[in-house]
Amino acid sequence: GDPDACPAESKDAAAADDVAGGRGRSALPAEKAQPGPLRDTLVLTLSTVMALVAAAVSAFFSSSVLAAINQHLHGLEAHRWLGQILGGMPLEVTLAALFLLPPAVAILCACGSASPQARYSRPRRASTAAIAGGLLIGLLAGPAPGPYTDIVSDKDVLSTEGGQRYARKKYSQLAAEGAT
């Protein structure tokens, strides 16, 4: 088995890679492309670090873009409609989407195509999968459209007769305390 192979790749793709001399990912001669434990550890560490950075940056980017779009579209009827639709979704559905969709998309991106010509190196597949998952996390966890609430009437306390009497009384008490 190929350590770089995705579990979803078919045996036909592995057989085609064997027929091609194992050069599906590398143009190096077969004797120079032999993986070793140090190389595998280094590639895995590099892939992991690159994937974490790519996922964090893409999640931040997509969430920031979503916030800017929300600010730009705020008040439009379509934006209000989208806010009502998303606001009416059950919490279980949104949590399931947040926890299941990004890993599923990342797995699909990591596996990619089963053809030997379309296969890429482990770091490249990991980065691509992390970017796709991070973008989706940023979109799903980002700010929702809105907030749209019913008009709240704000009544100033001093605009009522009782409020004005209360303010005069407090002011005179504070003035009397300051004078003594």
57 pLDDT more than 90: yes
* pLDDT tens per residue, range 6-34: 554 544 444 444 444 444 454 445 555 56
Does residue 111 contact residue 95 with C-beta atoms inside 8 Å? no
pTM across the whole model? 0.58
Does residue 115 contact residue 5 with C-beta atoms inside 8 Å? no
Contacts with 112 (C-beta within 8 Å, 6 or more apart), sequence order: 6, 118, 119, 120, 125, 128
Average confidence score pLDDT of the chain = 76
The average pLDDT across 96-103 equals: 92
Residue 14: predicted pLDDT? 47
When pLDDT is cut at 50, 70 and 90, the band that residue 152 belongs to is low
